[in-house]
């Protein structure tokens, strides 16, 4: 199942490549198929070469239906995944980012769930799309992708009280696969909760056609005062929660996730801590009790 089921030089493959090139090419600002592509190729000529006209539509117009469907479907999915980023950037900047990202990073997965999986890495290379508050926009994009991953990642059985009691400083600990940790420069968590409530839940895969691009309400958030936060994204009763963490808690969990032993993780997390020595034992006890109660430790 690693080789194509037909020869690379096949007529079928040629048709599929030519049609995909037209269908996946960005629309014009007016959301129509461009006459000429960015590489200079003529969509008119390509359409005439592979698509039959009928008594009502030209070859170009028939191909254009699929070009528009492709982008409407991707726009809808991406907007539903990143409503917070849209609120931070505003509609025009978000549209430009979305078009550029989806052009550079077309889906490589059978599921639209993974459409935004390469956004963070892509933004490293394309900071020009982040608007006047790039750190805020970047923080929001990271939080929204982490939310998607936390929503449907695996949940393993939590460690039993007996297994927890047997842990010592040499133990390494596994945490729930759905747990995501973020250190952010802006308190984007509250903003995202508001935006998601306004926009409702995300969409799923369907097999119907769209008559037009689905527009969602966009509340533009001009800016937000910076304030560093540490978050753990986790699930409780299959809802996603954002749990604020102290820098020490964040450091400790990050070290455990990276595979450090419990003793080393504690040393690392408290190395630069301003937490007084006499409060550290209580801090560790409370933190571990809370995480164990949430079922974050697993086998």
Structure tokens given for 245: 């963490």
Burial of 33 (0-12, 13-18, 19+ CB in 10 A): buried
Specify whether the CB–CB gap between 176 and 156 falls below 8 A.
yes
- Please tell me whether residue 208 binds another protein under the rule CB under 8 A: yes
Q: Determine how β-strand 174-175 pairs with β-strand 239-245.
A: unpaired
Q: Determine how β-strand 239-245 pairs with β-strand 180-184.
A: unpaired
Q: Identify the residue among 178, 242, 283, 297 touching another protein (CB under 8 A).
A: 178
> From the CB of 103, what's the least distance to another protein, in Å?
11
Q: Which is nearer to another protein, 17 or 170 (CB)?
A: 17
- Please tell me whether residue 107 binds another protein under the rule CB under 8 A: yes
14-16-19-23 Cα dihedral, nearest 10 degrees: -140
Q: Which is nearer to another protein, 125 or 211 (CB)?
A: 211
> From the CB of 272, what's the least distance to another protein, in Å?
35
- Please tell me whether residue 155 binds another protein under the rule CB under 8 A: yes
Where does residue 146 fall: left (phi above 0), alpha (psi -120 to 50 degrees), or beta otherwise? Answer: alpha
Q: How far is CA 247 from CA 62, 115, 232, 275, 281, in A?
A: 57, 31, 11, 10, 16
Residue 243's DSSP bridge partners are 232
- Please tell me whether residue 39 binds another protein under the rule CB under 8 A: no
> From the CB of 82, what's the least distance to another protein, in Å?
17
d(CA 152, CA 238): 8
Kindly indicate which of the ranges 138-146, 208-216, 268-276, 291-299 contains the residues binding another protein, using the contact rule CB under 8 A.
208-216
Question: What residues numbered 3-32 form the site for another protein, per CB under 8 A?
Answer: 3-6, 10-13, 15-17, 19-20, 23-24
Binding track, positions 234-273, relative to another protein; x by CB under 8 A: -x--xx----------------------------------
Structure tokens given for 280: 């550290």
- Please tell me whether residue 145 binds another protein under the rule CB under 8 A: no
d(CA 275, CA 249): 11
> From the CB of 175, what's the least distance to another protein, in Å?
14
Kindly indicate which of the ranges 100-108, 186-194, 220-228, 283-291 contains the residues binding another protein, using the contact rule CB under 8 A.
100-108
Of 14, 8, 296, 12, the closest CA to residue 155 belongs to 296
Q: Identify the residue among 104, 128, 152, 286 touching another protein (CB under 8 A).
A: 152
Q: Which is nearer to another protein, 28 or 208 (CB)?
A: 208
Which residues contribute to the site for another protein (CB under 8 A)?
Answer: 1-6, 10-13, 15-17, 19-20, 23-24, 49-52, 54-57, 59, 61-63, 65-66, 69-70, 73-74, 77, 106-113, 151-155, 177-178, 201, 204-211, 235, 238-239
């Amino acid at each position: 199942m690693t080789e194509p089921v037909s020869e690379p030089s096949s007529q079928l493959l040629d048709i599929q490549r030519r049609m995909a090139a037209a269908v996946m090419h960005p629309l014009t600002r007016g959301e129509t198929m461009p006459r000429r592509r960015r590489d200079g190729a003529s969509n008119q000529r390509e359409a005439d070469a592979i698509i039959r006209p009928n008594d009502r539509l030209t070859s170009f117009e028939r191909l254009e239906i699929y070009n528009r469907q492709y982008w409407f479907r991707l726009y809808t999915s991406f907007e539903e995944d990143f409503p917070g980023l849209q609120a931070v950037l505003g509609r025009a900047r978000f549209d430009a980012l979305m078009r550029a990202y989806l052009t550079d990073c077309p889906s490589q997965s059978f599921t639209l769930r993974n459409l935004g999986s390469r956004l963070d890495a892509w933004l490293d290379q394309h900071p020009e799309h982040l608007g006047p508050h790039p750190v805020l926009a970047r923080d929001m994009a990271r939080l929204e992708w982490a939310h998607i991953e936390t929503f449907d990642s695996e949940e393993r059985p939590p460690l039993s009280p007996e297994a927890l009691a047997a842990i010592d400083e040499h133990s390494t600990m596994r945490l729930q696969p759905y747990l995501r940790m973020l250190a952010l420069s802006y308190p984007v968590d509250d903003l995202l909760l508001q935006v998601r409530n306004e926009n409702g839940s995300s969409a799923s895969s369907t097999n119907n056609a769209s008559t037009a691009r689905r527009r969602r309400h966009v509340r533009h958030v001009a800016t937000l005062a910076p304030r560093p936060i540490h978050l753990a994204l986790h699930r409780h009763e299959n809802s996603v929660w954002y749990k604020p963490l102290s820098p020490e808690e964040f450091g400790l969990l990050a070290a455990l996730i990276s595979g450090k032993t419990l003793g080393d993780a504690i040393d690392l997390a408290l190395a630069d801590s301003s937490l007084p020595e006499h409060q550290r034992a209580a801090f560790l006890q409370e933190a571990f009790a809370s995480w164990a109660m949430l079922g974050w430790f697993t086998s």
